Amino acid sequence: MKKKKILILVNYLSFFLSHRLPIAEALLAKGFEVFIGYGELRGADPKFLKQKGFNVSFVPMQPGSLNLLKDLKTFYCMWSFFTKVKPDIVHLITIKPYLYGGIISRLTGVPSLISAVSGLGTLFVNKDLKSKFLRLLLYPIYKIAFNHLNQKVIVQNKDDLKVLVNWGVLNISRIKLLKGSGVKIENFTNLDELGGIPTVCFAARLLRDKGVYEYVAAVRLLKERGIKARFLLAGDLDTNNPTGLNLNELNKLKDEGYVEITGYHKDIPALYAKSHIICLPSYREGFPKSLIEAAAASRTVVTTDVPGCRDAIIPNKTGLLVPIKNSQKLADALQWLIENPKKRIAMGKAGRKLAEKEFPIEKIVLDHLDIYQDLINNNS
């Protein structure tokens, strides 16, 4: 019997490795032939995937940019990739793949389609004129991309689900709500806090929308109050993102000296084992993996009361919620956790129980395999 072909398209190969690899490995184990297309490596090694048995291809795309000529090239390259592979199922991850790939899937007659919305972003909540105009332009694209005859659209939080349904681009029957990308619980073994001065860790891409400047402002307030703690800024630059910090801005933060800039960390379990509190004051998320990993590491969290972030914790039990763009409240929450170690440790332990129940990678993989099987059954 001929193997069914699955085409997975993602903007960054590094994102695929960190968020979707276990799903793809399970598909290989089930006997599918898996093709992976990516726009940028971002430090990932495609040879690693080829050795595992994946077919890996570079598909030129410019994540985060809006350039008509470049996007026409992206569309053509995606089209060529689809027509070459002739997949039975296409799995599209992140915005350009699921918009352009969704349209191409319909035009080329792809039998089954999965579109994974990792997070709608602030464009869908901003009320300024530019955001309203962009939403108006995007409406027909979303409408086409999300109306394949045999399609599931995966969203990670209820707010994104409501936005898409209320916007009129998607019928609720096509939606599957899955909480994040899961975590390998067994990788997080050093659950007890280390002694010494408390360490607060911000671990995310260095974007304004992740709340980098609110975090730094909160740290400045805490130092002015005489609070003794270490404050880490652990993440890499993303200059393709319109809200990404540039090198000059990063160097300025380094010169100010309020936070310790540690760069990108591949070993998150080791980083969190040395930390006491995890902080993510983001403006909006899908379902942030950094908070899932914090729970698995038995570390309490301070995050913002916004879609995605609030979904990843149990407020006042596994972490604290603060208002968006409010460095004063952020500083207050961090100070309370720094000064109350028993409460902090208890919240971290509650987070671990939450992770064991809700976020195991095995659960997420099985949920995805069920979606694949349902789509196949629909075409049989």
The tens digit of pLDDT for each residue in 17-66 reads 999 999 999 999 999 999 999 999 888 999 999 999 999 999 998 766 66
Taken in order of first residue, the domains within the chain and their CATH numbers are: 5-182+360-378 (3.40.50.2000), 185-358 (3.40.50.2000)
CA distance linking residue 327 with residue 324, whole number of Å: 9
> Is 2 or 88 the better-scoring residue by pLDDT?
88
Residue of 69, 23, 78, 20 lying closest to 44 (CA atoms): 20
Give the per-residue pLDDT at 61: 87
Give the per-residue pLDDT at 106: 96
Mean pLDDT, rounded, for 282-296:
96
pTM of the model: 0.92
Mean pLDDT, rounded, for 320-333:
98
Give the per-residue pLDDT at 27: 97
Alpha carbon 72 to its chain centroid, in Å, reads 26
Q: Band the pLDDT of 111: cuts 50, 70, 90.
A: very high
Give the per-residue pLDDT at 65: 62
Average model confidence (pLDDT) across the chain: 94
Mean pLDDT, rounded, for 154-178:
94
> Is 195 or 321 the better-scoring residue by pLDDT?
321
Does the pLDDT of residue 343 top 90, yes or no? yes
Segment among 65-79, 100-114, 268-282 with least mean pLDDT: 65-79
How does DSSP assign 180-242, residue by residue?
A: SS-B-GGG----SPPSSS-EEEEES--BGGGTHHHHHHHHHHHHHTT---EEEEE----TTST
Residue of 289, 285, 303 lying closest to 347 (CA atoms): 303
